[in-house]
Structure 1
Amino acid sequence: MSAPTVPSATAAGSGRSATERFTQKERSTSSVDQARVSAIATDAITALHDVIRRHGVTYAEYDALKAWLIRVGEDGEWPLFLDVWVEHVVEEVANADRKGAVGTIEGPYYIPGSPEFRSGATLPMRDGEQGTPLLFQGTVTDLDGNPIEDARVELWHADDDGFYSQFAPGIPEWNLRGSILTGADGRFAFHTVKPAPYQIPTDGSCGALIAAAGWHAWRPAHLHLKVSAPGKQLVTTQLYFEGGAHVQDDVAQAVKPELILRPTPAASGHGEEVTYDFALDPA
């Protein structure tokens, strides 16, 4: 009997998986502030009115917009649209007062509960995992530079084909995902591989927008991180690689100068290494 065929990983499939995960996500049940909803909704609608007037939008363009908005819902791509074109501004506002480590968007591929290690670890990966070996290390401190023991550093990223475990078929559950609790010196170290750039899904309504506008659909290679500790603010961020494709024109507009990594040849002679430290703000 032949072995079952494993479906091929695709950007569209990853996008659908991310949307399904989001619909299962627990959200706040706090009461709605009607005055705040009214103010935000009124300003958003007024801004759209201004765009229509400024560009002299025609009825044909208006009908195209209605059809596209309906398709976004039918395709289940509102989470994708918002994560790519809106979240970076929400993050900017939310973290405007942060004095320590710089944050950026979370993106759709975070999964809590990754395997936990102490101080140093090799991320779970397949035998012969493709990609340049990478030692990613650093220290977690408070704003005064004092090391924080038992800070949690969560790391996850795409593989060398641009796909994430749990969002594409044929990849082990926790592949390239892990968490480290820092020691008394606040240090952490991950052995992993450098991820690849990848395209966001383009077979649905978001792809139709990209094609109609003549944009590209690429995100630069990046590491995702969440760093937290008792009594400190959680920071969610992504780190990019200097000189990498699309660092200068990320479709999600999430790259910041402070988030650029500059790896050097590893002291072991095998792959590359880079050090990046996190200073956490008080909660």
Structure 2
Amino acid sequence: MTAQTTAESRTEFDAKAAESGQQATDRYFENHRVDVAVSKERVNVLAAEVINGVADTIRRHKVTYDEFQAVKGWLIQVGLDGEWPLFMDVWVEHAVEEVATENRKGNKGAIEGPYYVVNAPELATPATLPMRDNEPGTPLLFQGTITSVDGAPLPGARVEIWHADSLGYYSQYSPGLPKWNLRGTVVADESGRFQINTIEPAPYQIPTDGACGKLIAVAGWHAWRPAHLHLKVSAPGQQLLTAQLYFIGDAHLTDDIASAVKPELVLTPTAVAGGHGEEVTYDFVLDPLDA
């Protein structure tokens, strides 16, 4: 069997932490600026407090040299596995998101996470996300209206949506899945309304065979995230809203490893009348850029 054939025969079950971690690292540098201008005074305050906080923890808990070397080796391995995006997004981003959006009057947001990909296919509403023939899972109609805080509809607003499949795997981060599986950018109509046909995602564990998984194991934590839809909602003159929407009854709503669940973000789908699957309506209210 050739190497090419072997690669083509891989499925999402063959996903490895180091592989998806490196993909997340590469995508980070593709999608985000890392040369943002920050004053020396700001760097001095933030870096000093973080470093002093670590030192205070060491003193308070009498950290030994063996423990120090173990942490040092683990931090090095996080980098070698390409898992810094995963680490930062799972354990740190929720606090940054809370600070960044605390003054918004519109919808609550949530973390972006490490699996966002730019330039997903653009689709007019009503839309069906790209998916495999006979995509496994429960069909879901996700619909709503996008308005400004004054109640005016936002025609042509864009809803970027991506999520795991019914087994908990993301396209472009797990082998064997079509490139844009369950990813799309849906353009709302003249009334700001959108309709998206997709499949309900599954809860999933963050990768556990890399450095982040080792931390979870030795700390006695679990690695689960509740099922969720990822969204970026935008319109001219409005602030970009990044959100995750969860599903009522999920076992991990109260102990999400990423600490990203908010009550306002929990959906309650209902059965489609006379059909197969579920539907849910969720409206978005965007804050103006000058707020």
Taking only aligned residues, the RMSD between alpha carbons, in angstroms, comes to 1.7
Q: CA deviation at 1:211?
A: 0.6
Equivalence for 1:210: 216
Secondary structure class of the residue paired with 2:5: coil
Q: CA deviation at 1:11?
A: 5.1
Q: 1:25 to 1:154 in 2, by over 3 A?
A: closer
Between 176-185 and 258-267, report the one with greater CA deviation.
176-185
How many aligned residue pairs are there?
283
Residue of structure 2 aligned with 1:8, choices 8, 11, 14: 11
TM-score by length of 2: 0.92
CA distance in 2, matches of 1:184, 1:240: 27
Residue of structure 1 aligned with 2:282, choices 272, 276, 280: 276
Amino acid at match of 2:286: L
Q: CA deviation at 1:56?
A: 2.1
Equivalence for 1:127: 133
Counterparts of residues 130-209 of structure 1 (less than 5 Å):
130-209=136-215
Q: Deviations 1:166-189 (Å, cap 9, x if unpaired)?
A: 111211111111112111211101
CA distance in 2, matches of 1:112, 1:25: 7
Residue of structure 2 aligned with 1:255, choices 254, 257, 261: 261
CA distance in 1, matches of 2:120, 2:169: 17
Q: Deviations 1:177-234 (Å, cap 9, x if unpaired)?
A: 1112111211101011100111111112111111110001111110000000000000
User: Unaligned stretches of 5+ in structure 2?
Assistant: none
Q: Report sequence identity in percent.
A: 62
Counterparts of residues 239-250 of structure 1 (less than 5 Å):
239-250=245-256
Residue of structure 1 aligned with 2:87, choices 81, 84, 104: 81
Equivalence for 1:93: 99
Structure 2 residue 61 is matched with structure 1 residue 60: no
CA distance in 1, matches of 2:74, 2:243: 31
Between 163-172 and 25-34, report the one with greater CA deviation.
25-34
Q: Which runs of 4+ in 1 moved over 4 A?
A: none
Amino acid at match of 1:7: R
Secondary structure class of the residue paired with 1:190: strand
